[in-house]
Amino acid sequence: MTSEEEREFDDLLLLLKETRGFDFTGYKRNTLVRRISRRLEALKLHDYGEYRDLLELEPDEFTRLFDSLLINVTGFFRDAAAWQRLRELVIPALLGQKTAGRPIRVWSAGCATGEEAYTVAMVLAEEMGVDAFRERVKIYGTDLDEKALQVARMGVYGERALSDVPIDLRETYFEQVENGYAFRRDLRRQLIFGRNDLTHDAPISRVDLLVARNTLMYFNTDMQLNIIRRFHFALADPGFLFLGKAEMLLNHSDTFEPVDLRMRLFRKISTAGPAYRAAWPATGAASDFASRLPTLASVALASGPVAQIVVDSSGNLALATSKAETLFNLDPRDVGRPFQDLEVSYRPVELRSVIEQARHDLRPIELREVVWHRAGTSESRVFDVSVVPLVSSGELVGTGIHFYDVTRYRRLRDDLAQANRQLEQAYEELQSLNEELETTNEELQSTNEELETTNEELQSTNEELETMNEELQSTNDELQQINDALTARTIELDEVNTFVSSVVRSLGDAVVVLDGDLRVVVWSPGAEELWGVRADEAEGRVFTALDIGLPLERLAPRLQAAAAGRAEAEGMTLEAVNRRGRPTPLDMRLSYLRSEDGDAHGLIVVMNVISEG
């Protein structure tokens, strides 16, 4: 389409929206162009501008256009295998999640003339029972075409429409009426049909099953996304979605999960997050141990996990914990000895100068990662040493020395350093691999985008083909109706021809009908028998030019005068010769062939053989 044609086409869609309230901007443009072009061809118009002018002059054309655009192709149990899977997988799950007595709501979107809505009704009635169906089920059928909805509300269908309904279901759920078969009135009350525009109107809410078969394929991608979001909102949790064979939910794995992907059955995924509960720990009551504090302090100090030595203000060993005694080979008899005489004062680290500095500065001194190689063993240990001046009532009363064993942490740090070195090496290798992977990923991303584009094109093509298929089916239905009418007319024509032939035979032995130029229009079987000339040889030729046994020199002037209106058509007796060459006297009668307004436009020639004697 040229830019001018595009503009005229958009103006036409705007006219439909502003004057009739039908917004087709979300529909696939190719489908709209194809359907509207059919109307232009039928009306022998050249462009959309002419058609727009015609719509403004002839409002009745809107109805014919909408009938063309709103393709109402549907049927009972369309794609029977899909309906069977619905009965096997979805209906039991749907009924299982509903407690007895709770209502069941179904929405048939794009229901057209209602066949699929009634199909759902039959399926549910078979699974639940007729009484439970009447009490619990509501089925809402919606469409954009009010004319199709009128058919759905009536619920009356012809023999051909019911051809795909099993015999037992037809006998159970349909009643024969004057012009076809009507769905049972007591069950039809459970079905409500109304107009709904999926692109703008609010969806029906709290729906347990949503049937929208071959409806999405008429919309473009953006509108499909919008409608699917509306469907997700409309469905209860959980709820089921039943689409047509040409429709997929490729990009909606976060909102719908497949029940049977091949049959286009999906289940809604809830977007609600899980609930969290917080548990608070109970608080225990504190114990009263004030009376036992001195004993507890002594025991705790002695059995503490840290090696601790206390030197009094005189420089003598005042206290050593069990851990310190074991670690530095101290004996209880060493308590009271000068600290400088003990091995621990200079091994694993020189402590005497450190003690003097701590006492002088009255501040703790920390020695980090002191390594001690114990004599007689290959074991080495690492300590953090803390020298703390002990002050009571403002006076220095001693010095506390704490040995924190950090061997395990040192080893862990060394192991960590080794691991870091290995990690750096691995990281360098990983970086190289990552660069290669990034290159490969970019190639894969490019390939994936190409595949997604190809997949979307294939999906669009599939939807387009399905749309064209439904258009062809709609055209086929129209042709079938025309064919039925032609068949009826042919039967009527055969009956008329038989009647006319009987009348012609009854007029005389031989009957010939001539037009105004005396050309043969009808040549009766009696004329064939009498003159030996077949009807296909005589019809269309001038009667007076036929080589038969009539005295044309006498007959021709009379026929010409009668045909020209110069003489009255009357009878005469002629001597003729039949096909066997025998003399045959004839009683020939002429009469005018008249039209409905009484004007003569030909002659009827009736010839009877005069019997001898």
Residue 151 lies in a domain: yes
pLDDT at 297 over 80: no
Report the relative pairing of strands 256-260 and 235-243 from DSSP bridges. unpaired
Identify the residue with better confidence: 565 or 154: 154
d(CA 352, CA 546): 158
Question: pLDDT for 230-252, tens place per residue?
Answer: 999 999 988 999 998 877 776 67
What are the two backbone dihedrals, phi and then psi, of residue 431, each rounded to the nearest 5 degrees?
-60, -40
User: What pLDDT is attached to residue 301?
Assistant: 62
Q: Please state, in angstroms and rounded to a whole number, the distance separating the CA atoms of residues 26 and 28.
A: 7
Tell me: pLDDT of 135 over 60. yes
Q: Is the dihedral of CA 503, 505, 509, 512 positive or negative?
A: positive
Decide the pairing of beta strands 583-594 and 600-609.
antiparallel
- Assign 3-class secondary structure to 49-117: HHHHHHHHHCCHHHHHHHHHHCCCCCCCCCCHHHHHHHHHHHHHHHHHCCCCCCCEEEEEECCCCCHHH
Side chain identity at 506, as an amino acid letter?
S
Q: What is the rounded distance in angstroms from the CA atom of residue 536 to the CA atom of residue 553? A: 25
pLDDT in tens, 88-126: 999 999 988 887 778 999 999 989 899 999 999 999 999
- State residue 606 phi and psi, 5-degree precision: -110, 125
> Do 105 and 24 sit in the same domain of this protein?
no
Average pLDDT of the residues in 444-470? 80
Q: Same structural domain for residues 103 and 242? A: yes
Q: For the segment 579-591, what is each residue's pLDDT rounded down to a tens digit?
A: 788 888 888 888 8
Whether pLDDT at 288 is above 70: no
Of the ranges 357-361, 422-426, 514-518, 591-595, which one carries the lowest mean pLDDT score?
591-595
pLDDT at 568 over 70: no
pLDDT number for residue 612: 65
Amino acid at 36: I
- Is the domain of 438 the same as that of 369? no
For residue 536, give the 3-state DSSP assignment. Answer: helix
Q: Residue 385 and residue 387: Cα distance in Å, rounded?
A: 7
Range of the domain at 247: 80-268
Contacts of 82 (CB under 8 A, 6+ apart): 242, 245, 263, 264, 265
pLDDT above 90 covers a percentage of the chain that reads 18
pLDDT digits (tens, 9 = 90+) for 485-522: 898 898 988 888 888 778 777 778 888 888 888 898 88
| Residue 172 and residue 228 in one domain | yes
How far apart are alpha carbons 164 and 82 in whole angstroms?
Answer: 14
Report the C-alpha gap between 358 and 363 in whole angstroms: 6
Residue 228 shares a structural domain with residue 359: no
For the record, the structure tokens of 589 come out as 């009668």
CB count in 10 Å sphere of residue 24? 23
- 110 lies in the same domain as 217: yes
Measured CA to CA, the distance from residue 551 to residue 176 in angstroms comes to 67
Averaged pLDDT score across all residues of the chain: 82
Read off the pLDDT of residues 34-57 as tens digits, 9 standing for 90 and up. Answer: 888 888 888 888 888 888 888 888
Kindly report the number of other CB atoms within 10 A of residue 254's CB atom. 9
Number of folded domains in the chain? 5
- For residues 65 and 85, state if they share a domain: no
Contact 71, 474 (CB under 8 A): yes
Pair (459, 531) in one structural domain? no
* Cα separation, 508 vs 517, whole angstroms: 23
- Structure-token pair, residue 373: 């190689």
Residue 1 has pLDDT above 70, yes or no: no
- Whether the CB-CB separation of 239 and 208 falls below 8 Å is answered with yes
pLDDT at 286 over 60: no
Cα angle for residues 278, 281, 282 (degrees, 5° grid): 135
Residues 224 and 165 occupy one common structural domain: yes
CATH assignment of the domain containing 391: 3.30.450.20
**In the listed set 405, 421, 452, which residue is the last one of a domain according to the structure?**
405
Q: Kindly state the average pLDDT of the residues 170-178.
A: 92
For 490-515, the DSSP string reads HHHHHHHHHHHHHHHHHH-SEEEEEE
123 is written with which tokens?
């399926």
- Separation between Cα atoms, residue 341 and residue 328, nearest integer Å: 13
Strand partners, 174: 183
